[in-house]
Amino acid sequence: MRNRSPRAYLASTAALLIVLFYALIPVLWLLSLSFKTPATVSDRKFIPQDVTFENYTSLFAGGLDSALLRPLINSISIALIATVIAVTLAAFTAYAIARLDFPGKTVILAGALAIAMFPPISVVGPLFDMWRTLGLYDTYVGLIIPYLTFALPLAIYTLVAFFREIPWELEQAAQVDGATPWQAFRKIILPLAAPGVFTAAILVFIFAWNDFVFAITLTSSDSARTVPAALAFFTGDSQFTAPTGNIAAAAILVTIPIIVFVLIFQRRIVAGLTAGAVKG
């Protein structure tokens, strides 16, 4: 099928370069801005003339009162907690859907799909009001709950797709060979299920890490505000200096985990993203 003529190689190289350029240009621009001094931030050059780390260090000056440290801790904690809970709940549900026979299966899957399409802005007002009454406004829990809701459909669909592929007979086979149920689960099922669980976890983490709508509407201070929301409220050292360098530096910092995930787990991310769609 594939012709391996020099022309085809040339076309492939060109395509590769275009895609790389397309994907990386804004990230490289942020990286460049983040190393520029206030004097050279407007020079429009891609290579910074005098390199400075000031934009990064000043984000953390003052410890917990600094511009970024608290939001960064909040972002990491909230995304991790939401990921663990969402994947656990989704794993229970996906196991039931993939393995057990019960009426209401399709209702749950259809409901999850409906929630994946649900506009978050439509529940922001009621949540804002409810959370203030319940004392959840501006707290970790107040953000984790909506993140769970909107991440669960993605996690359930990914896990159902993975769990359906697992040869569950192996569990009984192991028990016939003398393994205890726990051994059968730990030695046979867990290793087979782990990739799916991991994929779901990455997708949920990226979702929670990314959210902005809930982060700015359900928080009012640094006690629960995550990095995307904090970035939107960044101010310069004085009202006359735009915090361009600082914002660029903070933006680069929150992008690093995503780039690391993508580099290590790209196959899994692609498999998870397309798990539900291919069968549809």
- Residues 30 to 49 in contact with another protein, rule: CB under 8 A: 30, 33, 41-42, 44-46
Contact residue for another protein among 59, 72, 78, 112 (CB under 8 A): 112
**What's the token pair of residue 132?**
């203030």
Amino acid at 241: T
Q: Which of 39, 51, 194, 258 binds another protein (CB under 8 A)?
A: 258
Which of 76, 96, 166, 192 touches another protein (CB under 8 A)? 96
Total Cβ atoms within 10 A of residue 244:
17
- Comparing CB distances to another protein, the nearer of 44 and 63 is 44
Choosing from 35, 83, 136, 146, the residue that interacts with another protein (CB under 8 A) is 146
Comparison of 63 and 122: residue with beta carbon closer to another protein: 122
Q: Compose the 217-256 pattern: x for residues touching another protein by CB under 8 A, - for all others.
A: x---------xx--xx---------x-x--xx--x--xx-
**C-alpha closest to that of 109 among 123, 90, 122:** 90
What part of residues 70-89 is at the interface with another protein (CB under 8 A)? 89
128 sits near another protein (criterion: CB under 8 A):
yes
Tokens, residue 269: 């991310």
State in angstroms the smallest separation of the CB of 161 from another protein.
11
Residue 154 in contact with another protein, rule: CB under 8 A: no
Residue 233 to residues 97, 148, 215, 228, 247, Cα–Cα distance (Å): 43, 25, 12, 9, 10
Through-space distance between the first and last CA atoms of the chain, rounded to whole angstroms: 28
Burial of 132 (0-12, 13-18, 19+ CB in 10 A): middle
DSSP character for 64? G
> With contact defined as beta carbons under 8 Å apart, do 79 and 205 qualify?
yes
Amino acid letter at 19?
Answer: V
- Shortest distance (Å) from residue 255 CB to another protein: 6
97 binds another protein (CB under 8 A): yes
Alpha carbons 196 and 199: distance in angstroms, whole number: 5
Q: Which range binds another protein by CB under 8 A, 62-70, 106-114, 160-168, 175-183?
A: 106-114
63 touches another protein (CB under 8 A): no
